[in-house]
């Protein structure tokens, strides 16, 4: 979808939306999240490419292994959704609960507890026959009937070889390893007795981008992604806000932010080129985004959340 064929959709907003730049000057519908992490251990969320090494020559912890792979979009999507929910709740709104009220896995009173802490029943924000009036979390993540989420969440492809990484495609430089540790008893009388050995696929020293694509260009979507990444970045050390991870590995602490949407593809690549500094044009775009554009997108989000809560309150 070419940016020159896009326009901002503002029909659901209760406020004026005016940015001092045309849609064509932004990189939409793509939104890039810049990510840095010392270590990620997302469980089953890593798929690797080992076709170059036969089974008898492959040593998982050998630093010379040049293994590429992908980080699952399922792991990434859950992390992003947590951030989006917290932002909406912080604005006085409620978010669609991700699970059904009658789910077989539901523990007693858990669903009711969630509804009392910033969620509404899954799909309760949608009027019958009109699936375009739900809350902004419903919009972005979908999961209701045959309606897809309005944001496409791709996997992050990673490689330890810098020249094979293209951040415009949502790729990152990172190094795959397999870690093995002894899980020991924490009971004082056991004196640290080993209980079992745990093997874990991990990705270390990750630097790159996660490419998101909006199916519809609504300002509140951009505002929510920006605010969610700010929230996740400022709460990155909180266990519940980590990207996958496990306590024993200290994994999942991620520095993240939405890369300036005004950057061209060449400027985006320049951000991650250690041999190049930012240009004067990039500095000017940073100021324009920070001082005049960003607050407009966030304002659109605030207006959308307020409008949704008003409608739900009338029901």
The mean pLDDT value for 55-67 works out to 65
Structure tokens at 132: 């375009």
pLDDT value for 29: 95
Q: What percent of the chain clears pLDDT 90, i.e. is strictly above it?
A: 46
- Length of the chain measured in residues: 315
Helix (H) or strand (E) holding 254: strand 254-258
- Most confident of the following: 12-16, 53-57, 65-69, 130-134: 65-69
- Flag whether pLDDT at 191 surpasses 80: no
Per-residue model confidence as pLDDT tens digits over 211-221: 999 999 999 99
Per-residue model confidence as pLDDT tens digits over 85-134: 999 999 999 998 888 777 666 676 788 888 888 898 888 888 644 555 68
pLDDT value for 198: 74
Q: Find tokens 């939409």 and name the residue.
A: 28
- Flag whether pLDDT at 224 surpasses 90: yes
Is the separation of the CB atoms in 123 and 44 below 8 Å? no
The mean pLDDT value for 9-33 works out to 88
Confidence class for position 53, pLDDT limits 50, 70, 90 = low
Is the separation of the CB atoms in 215 and 148 below 8 Å? yes
Kindly report the number of other CB atoms within 10 A of residue 298's CB atom. 20
Q: CB-hemisphere CA count at 13 Å for 79?
A: 32
- Flag whether pLDDT at 256 surpasses 90: yes
One-letter-per-residue 3-state SS of 276-300: CCCCHHHHHHHHHHHHHHHHHHHHH
d(CA 290, CA 28): 17
Average pLDDT, the chain: 85
The model carries a pTM of 0.88
Tell me the angle at which helices 294-314 and 219-234 cross, rounded to the nearest 10 degrees. 100
The mean pLDDT value for 233-251 works out to 76
Backbone Cα Rg of the chain: 22
């Amino acid at each position: 979808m070419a940016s020159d064929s896009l326009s901002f959709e503002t029909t659901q907003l209760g406020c004026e939306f005016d940015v001092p730049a045309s849609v064509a000057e932004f990189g939409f519908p793509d939104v890039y999240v810049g990510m840095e992490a010392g270590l990620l251990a997302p469980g089953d969320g890593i798929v690797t490419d080992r076709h170059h090494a036969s089974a008898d020559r492959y040593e998982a912890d050998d630093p010379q292994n040049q293994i590429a792979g992908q980080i699952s979009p399922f792991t990434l999507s859950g992390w992003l959704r947590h951030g989006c929910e917290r932002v909406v709740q912080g604005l006085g709104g409620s978010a669609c609960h991700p699970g059904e009220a009658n789910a077989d896995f539901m523990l007693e009173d858990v669903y009711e507890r969630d509804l009392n802490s910033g969620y509404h029943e899954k799909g309760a924000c949608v009027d019958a026959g009109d699936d375009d009036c739900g809350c902004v979390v419903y919009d972005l993540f979908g999961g209701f009937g045959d309606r897809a989420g309005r944001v496409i969440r791709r996997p992050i492809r990673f490689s330890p070889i810098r020249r094979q990484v293209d951040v415009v495609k949502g790729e990152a430089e990172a190094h795959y390893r397999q870690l093995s540790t002894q899980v020991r008893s924490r009971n004082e009388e056991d004196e640290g007795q080993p209980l079992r050995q745990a093997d874990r696929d991990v990705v270390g020293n990750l630097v790159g981008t996660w490419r998101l694509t909006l199916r519809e260009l609504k300002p509140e979507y951009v505002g929510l992604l920006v605010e969610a990444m700010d929230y996740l970045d400022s709460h990155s050390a909180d266990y519940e806000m980590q990207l996958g991870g496990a306590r024993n590995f200290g994994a999942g602490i991620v520095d993240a932010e939405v890369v300036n949407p005004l950057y061209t593809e060449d400027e985006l690549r320049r951000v991650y080129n250690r041999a190049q500094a930012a240009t004067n044009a990039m500095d000017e775009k940073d100021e324009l985004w920070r001082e005049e554009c960003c607050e407009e997108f966030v304002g659109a989000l605030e207006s959308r959340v307020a409008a949704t809560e008003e409608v739900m309150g009338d029901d």
